[in-house]
A and B are shown apart, each in its own frame.
Chain A
């Protein structure tokens, strides 16, 4: 059974039909890329999975999204628990204007209330190690996170998320502000992380999707046109529109 399954998922922003009948299964311990031109609904789809669209007024959703078999739109779903399980990395690295340490322990504190200092230290060390920042930053954990480089900031944001111990990492164009070297290193990190997480990445960058993902979905105007193994999508797309997009005939 896939980790995340959508059944007939539709979404409206007021009168705008942003997602149309999306049916897809996202496997655990794999990286699934969602590609498509701007405004095709790929970020919207990503934001369905941790219900960030709830923040926007006038959003209406139909269909089901099952995570581990339970519907996240169920009245009993607790948003806090859902977001503890399904975390998000944003397009722009967005650490809080706090120290490196405080950034990482924020989520830990939110979910566990008062936590002993040594537990926090441990969480900071583990999460920084898992994003390969520990050696660089261990001597300046009390320094403001905003002074880090863009790449370090984005890694820190991933570490902040990992500290909450989610199952699913949603990444919304996580490399779009990074240079090619930094992008390559973040992609490397994603490959390491997929052993422990279900990763869904939205990207503009087809090469990136081809490089890192196991499965790929191509979206156009709110529809999931094609979904399958990445090699299949890129080498033998079944749909003409997918082929047009990956061969560069859309913007």
Chain B
């Protein structure tokens, strides 16, 4: 009589997936908090340290930071005991403070961003004490906070790019790059501080950052469809936030007994900062993959800058101003887009060097 032993189910979570997901989850919380907070200020207004959108922002950096810290401490413990450190978890370990800590480079960056967030939180608190609780997104401390969160998001891209030859690594790289791209559209508002009489610096910045991140993700994954996948992921985030941001602001206002502002237009602020034409640019990047990167980069930059007033007319109505400033903006966006594409391609190659992977590791 044959006795067939049934093996117990041994579904294991791939190594590195859990902390990577926690860091990505933290960056998503930050992004949700940011779109909600911007909408809150535009539709409702009153502010305290403890509004729900602020808590999302704090929780996002806390989650990413704690996950990064735990990984660094575990890696340090393994290194001290001369155990092999698998670079699939965040990349090669580097020494921090001499050899005091051994930190996988991806988690080192994401954790540094979270630590900087705390420092810039204090700087922001001091600023508000001096200047009042202004709801200005592009104040210097706010840009410092946004840059800190962006560094955590760069770390998230690095962490997933290390595992690019596994399905979760590919999906995570696309998601992390999309989150970074969407978030960068807000950070780019800081460029308002640059004189803008001849051209719109925010449009040029938005176009360049979008092109750079598309190329970076595409070359990090080194497979056809990478740029398009990021473009689609950004469009999904844009669609979800288009619904979520005004809804969440209104629901939270109702819950706290606050009315909406007079003359609120209900147009989602952060989602409207994302270029709606990004998918078209991503398709162009895919189709022109055989030509030098600067050509689709310049084209992408020009398309995004050219479509900024189109999107404004589509959303708000009004007129389409074709003037010298508009044309200069397109030319500058094309020039910066060309450079951004070359940089993005190089950054993608750098991401591939984080942990050389074996070709037979494909999941």
A and B together in one complex: no
**Residues of chain A whose beta carbon lies under 8 Å from any beta carbon of chain B:** none
